[in-house]
Structures are given as C-alpha cells and as structure tokens.
C-alpha cells in the first residue's frame, strides 16, 4: 500500500468484504460505524455483530438478528443473504469465511484459537450446512504477526511448539489449523497491526479501545 485507504481487502477472496483501517476511524463507535457503512453503500441495520468474549462459541444467526450484538460468542455464521456479519479487532485475527452461500465472521485471539474456534466454525459449515471443505474460502485479516508478538514461555505448551526469540507466529498456527481441517483456499492479507501503525489500531502497542471492523456482505 502506498497511500492509506479506508479499508483493506484480499483480491483473491471472492466475496464482498473488507477490514477497515485507521483512516475509517474507530468502528466500534456506532455513529462512526454507521456513517462509514453508509459511505460504502451498505445498510447498517443489516449488520450483525458478536459481543466477543474470547470464547470458542459460534452462533448461527439470521434476519431477526439484524442490527444486534449477539451475546456470549466470538463467531457468527449465516445462510441469510439479507444480513452482513462483522467482527472487531485490534491485534486478534479477524477471519471471514464463505463458500459463496454460507458466510461467517470470526474473532480469533490466541485464546479462542487455543479453545478451538477454528475447528468449531468449520464443523458448523460441514455438519449444519453440508458444505464441502474444499469449497470454503478464508480471508485472514490484519493481526499482530510473528514480527511483533512477544509471549511467555507457557505458549510453547499451549500450542505444542518452540518459540523463536519469544515470538508467537499466530498467522502460521491459524494457517496450519485450517489446512489440517482440509481447507485449500486460504488468503492472508499479510499485514501486521502492531508495526503497520499508519494503518491499524493495535491494543498491544497503544492500549487503545479503538477497533477495526472486518465485514462480510
Ligand atoms: Zn509487526
């Protein structure tokens, strides 16, 4: 990126989506969010969000959830074309997942990943919606990457790996888990929230309550 845009996308992820940047503002703020969505030709009342509690819980949502925050979950999934799904992040991994008709938005921090949020999500695609894993596409949005994510030694046991320079490669953990679940279409925008400070909010860097929104239409 040479000039800052209000959002980033992955060109290969074949479904309307984005992750907002600093330039779009703090999309956790409803007034800022609604204004931004309208500027993008999107109707804010069609958006469904999760309250995000660092769990591995996924909720199936529909039209009656329009405009609401869903309690006690970090992932939303739907077969309803009339709604959009979103997640807020500032270092955690935002994932947007679809086969074209079923779509999901997932908030995946180390804790949710450890607790199995990726496995739970793909399970719902397979067992509730009869989607073949090979037909699923995943967008991995901006998050804190190996360059910047220092953690304690206890993460070696949690994820059964050896840390390099005390850094955790969350991107690789996510990619490998998805690959092991049988997915082949995994698209990572390859951006770090912590060191690309012109573009992204970072909780670790700034202890900020501001958040980017990743959204799938
Ligand atoms: Zn970095």
| Per-residue pLDDT at 209 | 96
| Per-residue pLDDT at 123 | 98
CA distance to 22, 38, 39, 54, per residue, from 107 (Å): 19, 23, 24, 8
Residues of the chain with pLDDT under 70: 1-2
Question: What sign for the dihedral angle of Cα 93, 140, 122, 16?
Answer: positive
Task: Identify the DSSP state of 117.
Answer: H
What domains, with CATH codes, occur in the chain? 11-216 (3.60.140.10)
- The number of residues making up the chain comes to 217
Tens of pLDDT, residue by residue over 11-65, are: 999 999 999 999 999 999 999 999 999 999 999 999 999 999 999 999 999 999 9
Q: How far is the CA of 191 from the centre of ligand 1 (A)?
A: 8
E-assigned strand segments in 61-175 = 69-70, 75-78, 84-89, 93-98, 103-108, 137-140
Ligand 1 ion: Cβ-proximal residues, 5 Å cutoff? 145, 147-148, 192, 194-195
| Per-residue pLDDT at 148 | 98
Give dist(CA 64, CA 59) in Å, integer.
13
| Per-residue pLDDT at 2 | 55
| Per-residue pLDDT at 4 | 77
Report field, pTM of the whole predicted structure over 0.85: yes
Q: How far is the CA of 154 from the centre of ligand 1 (A)?
A: 21
């Amino acid at each position: 990126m040479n000039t800052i845009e209000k959002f980033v996308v992955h060109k290969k992820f074949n479904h309307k989506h984005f992750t907002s940047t600093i330039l779009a503002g703090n999309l956790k703020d409803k007034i800022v969010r609604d204004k931004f969505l309208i500027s993008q030709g999107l109707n804010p009342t069609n958006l469904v969000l999760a309250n995000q509690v660092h769990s591995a819980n996924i909720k199936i949502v529909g039209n009656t959830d329009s405009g609401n925050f869903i309690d006690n979950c970090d992932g939303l999934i739907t077969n309803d074309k009339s709604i959009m799904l979103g997640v807020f992040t500032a270092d955690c991994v935002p994932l947007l997942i679809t086969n074209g008709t079923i779509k999901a938005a997932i908030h995946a921090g180390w804790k949710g990943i450890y607790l199995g949020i990726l496995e739970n999500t793909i399970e719902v695609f397979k067992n509730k919606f009869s989607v073949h894993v090979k037909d699923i596409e995943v967008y991995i949005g901006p998050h804190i990457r190996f360059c910047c994510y220092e953690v304690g030694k206890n993460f070696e046991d949690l994820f059964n790996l050896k840390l390099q320079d005390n850094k955790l490669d969350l991107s690789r953990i996510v990619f490998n888990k998805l690959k092991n679940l049988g997915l082949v279409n995994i698209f990572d925008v390859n951006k770090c929230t912590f060191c690309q400070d012109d573009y992204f909010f970072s909780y670790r860097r700034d202890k900020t309550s501001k958040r980017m929104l990743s959204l799938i239409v």
